[in-house]
Amino acid sequence: MKLDGVGRLHQQVYRALLGEILSGRLTSGERVPSTRDVARELKVSRNTALLAYEQLLAEGFVTPRAGAAGTVVAPVLPPDGYVARPTRRLDAPRPGRLAAAPTLAAVGERYVQSARACAATLGTATLSWELAPPAIRYDFRPGRAAFGDLPYALWRRLLNARARDARIADLDYGPPAGRRELREAIATRLRRLRGLDANPDHIVIVNGTQQALDLVTRVLVNPGDRVLMEEPHYTGARCAFMAAGAELVFSPVDEHGIRVPTTGGGRRPFRLAYVTPSHQFPTGAVLSMERRRRLIAWAAREGAFIVEDDYDGEYRYDGPPLQAMTGMDGAGCTIYVGTFSKILFPALRLGYLVLPAPLVEPIVATKAIADTGTPALMQLALADFIAEGHFDRHLRRTTVSNAARRQALVAAVDGQFGDRATVCGASAGLHLLVWLRGRRGGVIHDVHHIAERAGVGLFTVDPFYATPPERTGILLGFAPLMPADIREGIRRLAGALR
């Protein structure tokens, strides 16, 4: 017997013994050498030999000897030609047409193509919001939370308590729409703070905004359907609509938010409009009251739904948070999407939809088929976090600290760039936009690379346009930075761009 040198030792011993059986050197009913003998012959430990025997037993190649110690070769063996191979790595190349060029369904092909296209606009190899490299000292890349302010010990305690006291129902499959405790906590908050009278039965817990967008699109958008988007726009939403094969129609954003189109006669109607009214991504504009009304009236006329993505609108610095647009909608055509990625942290992957009644069943059915529901312990810990008042306290505290960071950023940009820069979108959220005078737009990575060499991480605004803008702007997130680092980062950036 010889070992073939491939893979784990006990698997090599298993194959060596199996080779003896399949080659006929050990025949049915014949006694198999003891583990002690095999270990000695192959120079392996007795435990390694034992593991190999256990596998042969489990697979039925050998059986215990009736009424006596030891093992014998099984009476029935596989047909001639059976070969025991080393376990193949799943990613190792395999011969055959399927592996070389699998034929994807049209929808699979669209998901691949839209992820590739969106990754290319962001300048990343694959579609992912993971920010790399992490070593940039002055990291203003938008979308990041105030990680340093998180009451992490408290969060850990709530999570531990839920894990410790888990009942069977908490460990079993849960409702695909999400745990009632969390839906009720969210409904109470929305009623009190966002002017949204949400029925917990119309709330569906999802794995972040991205899943909300995917579910809504699957349920409502057919290939070729028109979807209205802001220009510039959020890539995550664009990606979901592209994957559905939608025709994207971009409408420009100015200081009052998206310009509401007049109903286009003759063409196919719109199915969906996607907007970020509280703090437009990426310009930071707030959708005016008048345009909110016009957008809802437009959607009602078109027979379209509006997705209100309220990703960071709860941070508002110059006055109380605005009422959610969904609260103004008497027509029942607005879908509200909230997330915990910005106020808490994105790795939670927890968000929610507030749906018009007729969409509840379709969305819950789709969620049930997609993933049978969101992890329960996280939902329960978050429900406690909200119900015990920690969420509101954390929001109040971080609104103050984020306001100080924003103030430091605006002052630093003014001081370093003067009239070469115009700041906008600073009234809410966790990032602002700085338009740079005298720099041509459309050069996506130019400013980005200069900044990176100076130790400053940022995004330019260009990738968020379908048609590159004529001027260049930079998006600066401020939540995870200390004011002193903000000042130093902007000093370096201004020096590098001079």
Q: Which residues bind ligand PLP (CB under 6 A)?
A: 143, 208-210, 234, 276, 281, 309, 311, 339, 341, 346, 351
State in angstroms the smallest separation of the CB of 125 from ligand PLP.
19
The number of CA neighbours under 13 Å toward the Cβ of 480 is 18
State in angstroms the smallest separation of the CB of 11 from ligand PLP.
42
d(CA 462, CA 469): 7
State in angstroms the smallest separation of the CB of 286 from ligand PLP.
14
d(CA 253, CA 465): 11
State in angstroms the smallest separation of the CB of 127 from ligand PLP.
12
What three-state secondary structure class fits 38?
helix
d(CA 191, CA 186): 9
Helices (H) then strands (E): counts for the chain: 16, 16
Orientation of helix 180-193 relative to helix 376-387, angle to 10°: 40
- 257 — phi, psi (to 5°)? 95, -160
C-beta separation of 224 from 245 below 8 A:
yes
State in angstroms the smallest separation of the CB of 353 from ligand PLP.
11
176/284 with CB nearer ligand PLP: 284
176/351 with CB nearer ligand PLP: 351
Tokens representing residue 354 in the block: 């507030």
Handedness of CA 318, 345, 459, 325 (dihedral sign): negative
14/234 with CB nearer ligand PLP: 234
Tokens representing residue 288 in the block: 């005016």
Nearest to residue 147, comparing CAs of 444, 362, 347?
Answer: 347
State in angstroms the smallest separation of the CB of 234 from ligand PLP.
4
State in angstroms the smallest separation of the CB of 433 from ligand PLP.
13
Cβ of 30: how many Cβ atoms within 10 Å? 12
Sheet architecture: strand order including 459-460: 421-424, 431-440, 471-477, 459-460
d(CA 325, CA 297): 12
257/346 with CB nearer ligand PLP: 346
Task: Give the amino acid at 233.
Answer: H
138/352 with CB nearer ligand PLP: 352
C-beta separation of 185 from 178 below 8 A:
no
Q: Which residue of the chain is nearest ligand PLP when measured via CB?
A: 208
61/305 with CB nearer ligand PLP: 305
13/381 with CB nearer ligand PLP: 381
State in angstroms the smallest separation of the CB of 204 from ligand PLP.
14
34/251 with CB nearer ligand PLP: 251
